[in-house]
Structures are given as structure tokens and as C-alpha cells.
Structure 1
């Protein structure tokens, strides 16, 4: 399931970074906290990567 918006992709990237121990969990905000708690590292990788270029995704999902 690739990201549907830039915001979703960024949140997944932040959660993935925390899951890998690259950034502190305390730095997470909003949706990235929920993603960190509920999704596996593999799911986060899939969500953070996308076949579509980021600039072609909408900023927010409507």
C-alpha cells in the first residue's frame, strides 16, 4: 500500500526512522506516533516508499 499523499509518506518515514532507532521516538508527532505503534517495519517501508514521485502526490489526502 503506497502512500496516497505527501503528508502520509513523510509521517511513515518519520515512524520508520524511529522504529529503526535512527531518531528518538519522543520526536514523533501526530500520525507518525500511531504509525510507529501499529505498523511493522516492513509496512512502514512500503508506505514510505512510492512508485510515484513525491511532487506528483497531493499534499494531503482529500
Structure 2
């Protein structure tokens, strides 16, 4: 499932970095922390690798 916005993609990238041990979990904030706790590494990778072209900065749910 690809990210729906650039902000969601950035949060997934930050969570993926922490999941891989490249950054500290304590450095995560907001959506990135929630994604870290609730998603697998593969799911985060799918979100973070999606194409950014044409995506809005934020999406209202």
C-alpha cells in the first residue's frame, strides 16, 4: 500500500530508519512513532519507497 501524501511518506521513512536501528526510537515523534509501533519493516518500506511525484503534502482523513 503506497503512501497517500508526502508527510505520510516522510513519517514512514523515519520509522523505517528506527526499525532498522539507524536512528533511535526516542527520536521519533507523532505519526512516525505510531507507525513504528504498528507496522512491520516491509510495510514501512512500501510506504517510504512510493513515488512522491504528484502527491499532496498532507491529506485530510
Tell me the TM-score range normalised by the shorter chain.
Answer: over 0.9
**1:13 corresponds to:** 13
| TM-score, reference length from structure 1 | 0.91
Q: Which stretches of structure 1, 4 residues or longer, exceed 3 Å deviation after superposition? A: none
**Can you give the 5+ residue segments of structure 2 that lack an aligned partner in the other structure?**
none
Separation (CA, whole Å) in 2 of partners of 1:28 and 1:16? 10
**1:44 corresponds to:** 44
Separation (CA, whole Å) in 2 of partners of 1:2 and 1:49? 8
Superimposed CA distance per residue, residues 1-53 of structure 1 (whole angstroms, 9 cap, x where no aligned partner): 00000000000000000000000011100000010001000000001111x3x
**Can you give the 5+ residue segments of structure 1 that lack an aligned partner in the other structure?**
none
